Structure 1
């Protein structure tokens, strides 16, 4: 019985790859891996930029929204005056000056600064007299206003549209109108005392 002999020195007679070809394959694989990594990084950067741009746009839109609520709080007596040039269309009737406090609530989504407020209708004019007031989100501020009115004008009966000049967080200035109800307020209670002394 013959025993099979294995020659351990026998080599595979397959033609071996040249070292240059093997090196080319390694470089090609490395380039493919680097290409995939570059595509992934570029995609992540573009996606991140798009998300950041959308968030920035939404922030700008939110900052541009102004919503406020205002109502009269207190008033103090002023001195009767007989100036007629201050009020447009003044008829020579006694004009009374009164200082009032106006509460302003920021109902918008971002902080605002109320720079000034003004209102005018026949027989009455109103303008802010104090410094601008910063109002944080949901914050309440108080503005000092001066009213000049004719005692014969019944301007307390209807809401008074007031024009608010507001600076938003993005430093843009906007004008917002809000109808303020004066009927039943301290302003209406104090006014007759002013007129009675006129």
Structure 2
């Protein structure tokens, strides 16, 4: 080695210890870099998995179908007030709690009774509802857009909508005779 330092003109001395320390430092730096890369990769993978789990738990997918119609009565104007049930199927990947349901269109008004229903993934629950059906207009061809307020497994409030076919449903078949009676009474 040549020492170009002008102030100290002593010949350079070969020092094997100094060379060993440098190679040891390079090996250590490479090891630290590799450990950092591995830990960073694991951290990114865990972060991605955590985000996917949060997305899975927060997703809401369901189906709603008229399930039953019960007791009730009508008035001279041809409007039936009845109790009923709406079957809700959780087609999503995580459990949800149905907190409220509501639907309205000309001739049809559906409101939940306020009782929450917990549904496991792939499970079905029956939500109690109050039906107000105007016999003359309730059974048109358009579906009833039901709004369902749900709480996801991560305690987030979500709202889902689902079109419910009222015409030809259990609700329709269950009120045909009472509607016929009310319409006859109203015409008399």
Alignment deviations for residues 144-182 of structure 1 (CA, whole Å, 9 cap, x no partner): 111012222233644211111122233322221111122
User: Corresponding residue for 1:177?
Assistant: 161
- Partner residue in 2 for 1:55: 49
Aligned length: 170
Equivalent position of 1:118 in the other structure = 102
1:151 pairs with 2:135 = yes
State the match for 2:86 in structure 1: 102
SS at match of 2:72: coil
Secondary structure in structure 2 of the residue aligned to 1:66: coil
| Distance in 1 of aligned mates of 2:138 and 2:62 | 26
| Mean Cα deviation higher: 107-116 or 51-60 | 51-60
Using structure 2 for the length normalisation, give the TM-score: 0.77
Q: CA RMSD in A?
A: 2.5
Larger radius of gyration: 1
Name stretches of at least 5 consecutive residues in structure 2 with no aligned partner: 1-12
Shift of 1:26: 4.2
TM-score computed with the length of structure 1 as normaliser: 0.73
Is there any run of 5+ residues in structure 1 with no aligned partner, and where?
Answer: 1-16, 83-92
Question: Helix, strand or coil: the match of 1:155?
Answer: coil
Contact 1:156 1:188 in 2 (8 A): no
1:27 Cα offset (Å): 3.4
